[in-house]
């Protein structure tokens, strides 16, 4: 299962983020496995069905100018509550059921992908 959205109108972006949010809601991620590559303006968040499962999906965002993580609980594993596009801030926010918020400030051209990961760790 691969889903991809690219920048277009704000209304379309909000709808696409909701669709991806529906797919990743209640999946888990390890905060220490988040990969930020600011040289290439990208952020990758590996996700799995439970805290102990291997990563089977990757949320990848390119065109990122800034990453801000608010992590008041300081636990390692979080489950996703929602992903949304914030029009007035031109950013994507990922919220967890355990309090965490990851904000990705975006360039004008950006891309958001949800990719399946094979057993070998590749797409």
pLDDT tens string 62-110:
999 999 999 999 999 999 999 999 989 999 999 999 999 999 999 988 8
CA distances from 5 to 12, 19, 53, 87 (A): 9, 10, 26, 16
> Rounded to whole angstroms, how far apart are CA atoms 1 and 68?
28
pLDDT tens string 5-16:
655 567 777 888
Record the tokens describing residue 45, joined without a space.
């968040």
Beta-sheet strands, E only, within the chain:
3-6, 28-30, 35-37, 42-47, 57-70, 77-86, 91-96, 101-116
4: pLDDT confidence band, cut at 50, 70 and 90?
A: low
Q: How far apart are the first and last CA of the chain?
A: 10
Average per-residue pLDDT in the chain?
Answer: 89
pLDDT tens string 13-68:
788 888 899 999 999 999 999 999 999 999 999 999 998 898 999 999 999 999 99
pLDDT more than 90, % of the chain: 67
Cβ neighbourhood burial of 82 (10 Å; 0-12, 13-18, 19+): middle
Contacts of 9 (CB under 8 A, 6+ apart): none
């Amino acid at each position: 299962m691969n889903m991809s959205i690219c920048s277009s109108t704000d209304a379309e972006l909000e709808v696409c983020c909701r669709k991806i949010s529906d797919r990743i809601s209640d999946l888990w991620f390890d905060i220490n496995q988040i990969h930020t590559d600011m040289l290439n303006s990208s952020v990758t968040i590996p996700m799995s069905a439970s805290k102990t499962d291997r990563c089977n999906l990757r949320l990848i965002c390119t065109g990122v100018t800034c990453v801000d993580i608010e992590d008041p609980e300081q636990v390692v594993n979080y489950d996703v509550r929602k992903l949304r596009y914030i029009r007035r801030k031109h950013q994507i926010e990922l919220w967890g059921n355990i309090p965490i918020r990851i904000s990705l400030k975006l360039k004008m051209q950006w891309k958001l992908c949800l990719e399946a990961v094979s057993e070998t760790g590749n797409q």
